[in-house]
Chains A and B, each alone.
Chain A
Amino acid sequence: MTDPNTLSHLDLEAPEKPFLDANELVINMGPQHPATHGVLRVILRLDGEKVLGLECVIGYLHRGVEKIGEHRTYTMFNPYVDRMDYVAAVSNGLGYCETVEKLLSVEAPPRAQYVRVILTELNRIASHQLWLGTHALDIGAITPLFYTFRDREEILKIYEKYCGARLTTHAFRIGGLQYETYAGFEKDVKNFLDFFRPKIDEYEELLTTNRIWLERTKNVGSISAEDCIALGVTGPVLRASGVKWDLRKAQPYANYKNFDFDIPIGQNGDTYDRYLVRIAEMRQSVRVVEQAVGSIPEGAVMAKVPKVIKPAVGEVYHSIEAPKGELGYFIVSDGSTQPYRVRVRPPSFVNLQALDLMCRGQLVADVIAVIGTLDIVLGEVDR
């Protein structure tokens, strides 16, 4: 009989020394995973199936957009911002164009503002539809994916007719719009709204009172309002925790002041509330588009902006309510044609910080649900 102290590391004959410490297990949810909405790596510390804590490793999609911004002129940088949150490209463009317009002290003409609001709100609907489809798919409900993507096609068709691109639209320019709306734009948008209103009811019919959905999303990933504010979480996540705050109402930009819409909020801050808030936001976006499309004024679509954009020396921070949260741009100008520093404040990056807090004590399957409900886009997290 060999001496147990000289046994190999397998320790097969020394049962008092545990081979695997069964108390804590570290599992890697690697960057390649069907449900992490991109290249997100999550390192989970588990006790059985319960999550004790997790760490997000990001940066797999880091493309150096902020560095590129320092080497491109203001107009040349415009297409780059679409690629950050590639799901809601129009919102990104709106934020960037408005920030540079603030630096230049110009304002887009009223006709451009109306069309901008219409396209941005349609983008909000499209982004929430994609969110709903993929979130439900992660949880196991496959049908909503097909419904939402099929309906999203109508919005993408409008974008394609307007600016030629479906996803990374580059729809806006500094000072307004480049393209006049095509003949039939208002009719297309109105048809879409009539087409879409019953669709939201269809999505709700599939999920809102579905027992499986309720089991998987009620009390999953709860976060309180104080934690949201401390962690800087914004967007539907903050609103579902009960804070009635939306940048379109608090610090209005474009011409959101002219439109009448509500801010839906939730009570518990769990996944189910975030689902309800986003569904309600889709309905409110329909209201805004309806009001806007009926009253687009005539006029120019582009303000008087110099051909070579050279803002005065100064720095400006401007943010908008993107579908994911507060998207901010901090641009420092040194008086030349290229920005000195472009900082993008991405909502998904800051919201993802809350993942650790929201998943403590939940099961592994709930981690997937929470990643989905945060509505992150890795292009924005990593830039």
Chain B
Amino acid sequence: MIAKFKGTYGSGIQALTYAGQNYMIVDRSLIPEILQVLRNEERFDYCVDITAVHYPKREQQFDVIWILYSFGSNERIRVTTQIIDGEILPSSVSIWATANWLEREVYDMFGIKFDGHPDLKRILLPDGWKGHPLRKDYSILQQDNEWVQINLGIASGQ
């Protein structure tokens, strides 16, 4: 399968293995095409997870990762792409319905927006919260004091 992809997409895909697990680093330009191909042709019908990692010192600060599983071939694969801060990714809701809440959580925690998502709003944090906690520049003790003061009536959550 990797050979087929390399033939079609050439240098846009890097196929790697670590600790016995296969994963691909793909160019941003190949999303969503590679995801559609994985779903429709390679039958990776179960999207296990969509998540992100923040590397502030890198130029392309965010790693967005799709973890996919195929029931037919009992195979799990990770697709990683790297984006800069503020870049918008196409939503995978049309490919896997489960992406709905998973992408909402990535947006909530990292601020990465997904284009074409039916309802992109915060999911774990309250609606008016400012800031995206899982970014590395959000301190562990930081809270949105303004929200806390308006909604909870106390000076600070600490």
Within 8 Å by CB of A58, from B23, B74, B124, B134, lies B124
- Distance A332 CA – B76 CA, assembled complex (angstroms): 17
* Given known A-B contacts A245-B71, A251-B74, A350 and B101 have beta carbons under 8 A apart: yes
Number of interface residues of A (CB under 8 A): 41
Contacts of A103 in B (CB 8 A): 19
Interface string of B72-111 (1 = CB under 8 A from A): 0010101000000000000000001110111001000100
Count of chain A to chain B residue pairs whose CB atoms are closer than 8 Å in the complex: 90
Partner-binding segment picked from A108-116, A142-150, A202-210, A310-318:
A310-318
Cα of A196 to Cα of B23 in the assembled complex, Å = 44
Q: Which residues in chain A, 218-233, are within 8 Å of chain B measured between CB atoms? A: 227, 229-233
Is B154 part of the binding interface, using a Cβ–Cβ cutoff of 8 Å?
Answer: no
User: B interface, by DSSP: helix, strand, loop or mixed?
Assistant: mixed
Contact of B18 among A66, A68, A230, A315 (CB under 8 A): A315
Q: B100: which A residues are within 8 A, CB to CB?
A: 353
Interface residues of B in 35-49 (CB under 8 A from A): 45-49
**Whose C-beta in chain A lies nearest to the C-beta of B101?**
A353
The answer to whether A66 touches B134 (Cβ under 8 A) is yes
A332 contacts across to B, CB distance below 8 A: 53
Stretch at the interface among A155-163, A178-186, A339-347: A339-347
Interface residues as binary, B12-23 with A (CB distance below 8 Å gives 1, 0 otherwise): 000000110101
Report the Cα distance A67→B123, complex, angstroms: 16
Any A CB within 8 A of the CB of B61: no
Option from A71, A232, A352, A383 in Cβ contact (under 8 Å) with B48: A232
* Contacts A62-B125, A317-B76, A350-B98; A229 near B71 (Cβ below 8 A): yes
CB nearest to B97 among chain A residues = A230
Q: CB-CB < 8 A to B18: which residues of A?
A: 314-316
Q: Are the CB atoms of B19 and A102 closer together than 8 Å?
A: yes
Interface centre among A64, A232, A315 (most CB of B within 10 A): A232
For residue A380, which residues in chain B have a CB less than 8 angstroms away from its CB? none
The CA of A243 and the CA of B45, in the complex, are separated in Å by 13
CA separation between A317 and B47, bound complex, in Å?
Answer: 13
Q: Is A353's CB under 8 angstroms from B71's CB? A: no
Q: Which residues of B contact A340 (CB under 8 A)?
A: 53
**Contacts A67-B140, A230-B97, A330-B51 hold; do A105 and B19 have CB atoms under 8 A apart?**
yes
Q: Is B31 in the interface zone, CB < 8 Å from A?
A: no
Q: With an 8 A cutoff between CB atoms, is B65 at the interface? A: yes
Which of B53, B71, B74, B98 is in CB contact (< 8 Å) with A231? B98
Query: What's the nearest-Cβ distance from chain A to residue B130, in Å?
Result: 15
Q: How distant is A285 from chain B, measured CB to nearest CB, in Å?
A: 23
- How far is B53's CA from A348's CA once the two chains are assembled, in angstroms? 22
Please tell me if A48 contacts chain B, counting CB pairs below 8 Å.
no
B111 nearest CB across to chain A (Å): 14
B134 vs chain A, min Cβ distance (A): 6
Given A67-B133, A328-B48: A316 and B140 within 8 A (CB)? no
Verify if A382 is at the interface (C-beta below 8 Å from B).
yes
A59-B124, A67-B134 given as contacts; is B65 within 8 A of A330 (CB)? Answer: yes
Whether the pair A232, B19 counts as a contact (CB closer than 8 A) is no
Please name all residues of chain B whose beta carbon is closer than 8 Å to the beta carbon of A59 when the two chains form the complex.
122-126
Among B21, B54, B123, B124: residue with most chain A CB under 10 A: B124
A250 close to B (CB within 8 Å): yes
Q: Is B34 part of the binding interface, using a Cβ–Cβ cutoff of 8 Å?
A: no
Determine the distance from Cα of A319 to Cα of B122 in the docked complex, in whole angstroms: 26
Minimal beta-carbon separation of A30 from chain B (angstroms):
15
Q: Does A326 contact B (CB under 8 A)?
A: yes
A349 in the interface (beta carbon within 8 A):
yes
Nearest B residue to A250 via CB reads: B74
Q: Are A232 and B46 within 8 A (Cβ)?
A: yes
Chain A min CB distance to B72 (Å): 11
Contacts of B19 in A (CB 8 A): 102-103, 105, 314, 316
Q: Give the 10 A-B CB pairs with smallest separation, nearest first.
A: A232-B98, A59-B124, A230-B97, A345-B49, A62-B124, A343-B51, A341-B53, A314-B18, A231-B98, A353-B101
Q: B residues touching A (Cβ–Cβ < 8 Å)?
A: 18-19, 21, 23, 45-49, 51, 53-54, 65, 67, 71, 74, 76, 78, 96-98, 100-102, 105, 109, 122-126, 133-134, 138, 140
18 A-B contacts (beta carbon < 8 Å)? A64-B133, A66-B134, A68-B140, A103-B19, A105-B19, A227-B97, A229-B46, A229-B71, A230-B96, A230-B98, A232-B97, A232-B98, A316-B18, A330-B65, A340-B53, A341-B134, A345-B67, A350-B102
